[in-house]
């Protein structure tokens, strides 16, 4: 399938994509490839790979998926949500993004990811998809990109690697995605806000 491209007259820091009523990605903005590269998705997700697929395939964490599904439902019912803030770090940059969710005709949804600010840092191998990995795993928060160092303890990647004494390239663990307690709480509050707006009986499961 040849992807349908959206004109993006805005900055390179803005990525737009659109899903149909069934949450299948129908088009992506023409800067998808460069945005993907800056976010270290290169080699993994190309425009041809995303258009025609369900969006949920690209959101690895179940709780995050659940939150977005509720926000989509709310948006389609005419109750727009606040932009969702999240991190989309590359190895050499902390990237602070926000996602705007807007309803279009026929229950389609337009998603606009905007890079709000970035901070450069020495490259962290943990986020380099080309790094070779050990057999151990480390959990990274899907929303804020902190890593779990102990039960209930989530810290910035650099701090976490130091605490866990992971220095050598060959020690780099594999990543699994989760949601830290703070982001989970925030998601739940957003869901509660939705429930309070919705009459009983029509609450999303």
When asked if residue 183 is in the footprint of Zn ion (CB under 5 A), the reply is yes
To Zn ion, the closest distance from the beta carbon of 100 in angstroms equals 20
**Token output for 66:** 């659940």
- Concatenated DSSP letters for 134-189? -S-EEEEETTT--EEEETTEEE-HHHHHHHTT--SGGGPPEEEEE--HHHHHHHHH
Choose one: 82-90, 117-125, 165-173, 181-189; the region binding Zn ion (CB under 5 A).
181-189
When asked if residue 126 is in the footprint of Zn ion (CB under 5 A), the reply is no
Which of 17, 70, 180, 187 is in the footprint of Zn ion by CB under 5 A? 180
Per CB under 5 A, contacts with Zn ion among 141-170 are 141, 143-144
Choose one: 11-19, 55-63, 81-89, 140-148; the region binding Zn ion (CB under 5 A).
140-148
To Zn ion, the closest distance from the beta carbon of 178 in angstroms equals 8
Strands (E), the chain: 4-6, 14-19, 25-29, 84-87, 93-103, 109-120, 137-141, 147-150, 153-155, 174-178
Q: What is the binding site for Zn ion (CB under 5 A)?
A: 141, 143-144, 180, 183
């Amino acid at each position: 399938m040849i992807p349908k491209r959206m004109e993006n007259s805005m900055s390179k820091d803005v990525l737009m994509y659109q899903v149909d009523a069934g949450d299948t990605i129908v088009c992506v903005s023409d800067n998808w490839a460069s945005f993907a590269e800056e976010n270290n998705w290169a080699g993994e997700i190309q425009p041809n790979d995303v258009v025609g697929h369900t969006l949920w395939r690209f959101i690895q964490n179940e709780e995050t998926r659940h939150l977005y599904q509720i926000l989509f439902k709310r948006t389609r019912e005419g109750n727009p949500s606040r932009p969702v803030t999240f991190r989309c770090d590359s190895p050499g940059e902390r990237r602070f993004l926000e996602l705007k969710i807007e309803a279009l005709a026929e229950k389609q949804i337009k998603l606009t990811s905007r890079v709000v600010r970035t901070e450069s840092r020495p490259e962290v191998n943990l986020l380099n998809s080309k790094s070779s990995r050990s057999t151990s795993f480390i959990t990274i928060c899907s929303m804020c990109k902190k890593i779990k160092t102990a039960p209930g303890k989530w810290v910035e990647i650099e701090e976490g690697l130091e605490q866990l004494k992971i220095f050598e390239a060959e020690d780099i663990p594999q990543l699994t995605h989760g949601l830290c307690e703070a982001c989970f709480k925030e998601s739940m509050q957003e869901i509660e806000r939705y429930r309070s707006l919705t009459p009983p009986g029509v609450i999303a499961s």
